[in-house]
Amino acid sequence: MSAAAPKPTESSLEPSCRDTAAHALSIVRDGVITGEGPTTRGRVHFSRSLDADDTAWCIRILTATAVNDQPVSRAEAERLFEINEAATERTDGGRFDDLLAKAVAHYAASASGLKVPPRSVALSADTEIESWAPSYASKVNSEMLEWIAGQMRGKRQNNRRLMAMVATFVGATALPLAGQLPNVFDIGM
């Protein structure tokens, strides 16, 4: 008789709330790509367009009570980058660009071991990213900056707000990564 495998704990069987949020963001991404799906019902939505309702979905997902006090995860940030790349038309007044920059800063700072404000504060349209992110500029580790640069490199959709934030982080740290960034910033500014 062989020894029984250890019984999985309840937490190992259920995805984290951030995993669920990342999955929900993939549904928004799919709606942006196709113009169809649960996030586009009841309204006219064109394929490859991002409107204020799409951005509102992203905000609701990212600031839900279940995840508000947790840092933005890599998976959530990656889904936001995918939404950014999928949306060739924008009619949200720049709110998604602001959200993307703040969410990526939130992830990069927390993954670098820094304490970050609750999502409802950090990602709010009423909160300027400069009120909290620059204090992390010299403390965000080079791996995070390389990850961000990799997400941005070669993409057709540029996000000026995010590029400015990365430039602030790199300028503050004077990392060797700076040599790689012209490839990121050279995409049509």
Say which residue the tokens 């909160």 belong to. 127
Please report, for the chain, the start and end positions of each structural domain, with discontinuous segments joined by +.
16-185
| Residue-level pLDDT at 15 | 52
List pLDDT tens digits, range 68-84: 999 999 999 999 999 99
| Residue-level pLDDT at 5 | 42
Q: Per-residue confidence at 170, pLDDT binned at 50, 70, 90?
A: low
CA distance 41 to 35: 9
List pLDDT tens digits, range 112-167: 999 999 999 999 999 998 888 877 777 888 889 889 888 888 776 667 777 777 77
**Torsion-angle region of 123 (φ positive above 0: left; ψ -120 to 50: alpha; else: beta):** alpha
